[in-house]
Amino acid sequence: MVAFRIPHDKLYPWIKALHLVYYEHYGKSTRYEVRWFDNWSEKTGNKTIGIELSTKTDQPNPLLYKIQLHINTGLIQIQGNHKDTFVTLDFPVLLQIVEKVVAHNVSTSEDKDSTKIETTEQALLSNITDTATLDINHNTFVKIPSGTKEAPNIENENQTIEQHEKKV
């Protein structure tokens, strides 16, 4: 298991980052299945967001890893056989998204115009895509130099999940 804490003022940026990476990115992939669920316990008052990333290929255990964000404590836990994939591939991208959300200071208050929020979200997606992307077809994380639209084909910077699994 991998776990870390985030401050309460970073909850919204982390939820937004998780949404973009897992719901918008992996969720639209034909290779992955994403289950997003909320656990609100009326008895204890604990609130948790859970995300399960599974592969759609025939494997004995398709679950790659599970993420739990505990709203009350700010604790994020990652569990599963492929938690190292989260650490090496997804975590750096999530950090970049959180930094962009904080930098743009996207507000969730009702006094903001929804078109401003949508425009900011589009700018965030554009900036993030220019910075880092996950090539779903080749299952490869690619770092893209700023200002370019094509990634250089450098073998040592690109690592497939399969290559990563062989090392683990």
**Angstrom distance (rounded) from CA 33 to CA 98:** 23
Q: Is the pLDDT of residue 11 over 70?
A: yes
Average pLDDT over residues 82-95: 94
CA-CA distances (angstroms) from residue 75 to 6, 25, 69?
A: 6, 23, 6
Q: Is the pLDDT of residue 110 over 80?
A: no
Alpha helices in 1-157 (DSSP H): 11-18, 83-85, 91-104, 114-131
Give whichever of 41-45, 49-53, 54-58, 110-114 has the largest mean pLDDT.
49-53
Q: What angle do CA 59, 20, 95 make, to 5 degrees?
A: 95
Kindly give the interhelix angle for 114-131 and 91-104, rounded to the nearest 10 degrees.
Answer: 140
Q: Is the pLDDT of residue 98 over 70?
A: yes
Q: Is the pLDDT of residue 114 over 60?
A: no
Number of structural domains the chain divides into? 1
Tokens found for residue 81: 């056989």
Higher pLDDT, 58 or 157: 58
Mean pLDDT across the chain: 74
**Angstrom distance (rounded) from CA 147 to CA 83:** 31
Domain that holds residue 154: 2-167
pLDDT the model gives residue 3: 95
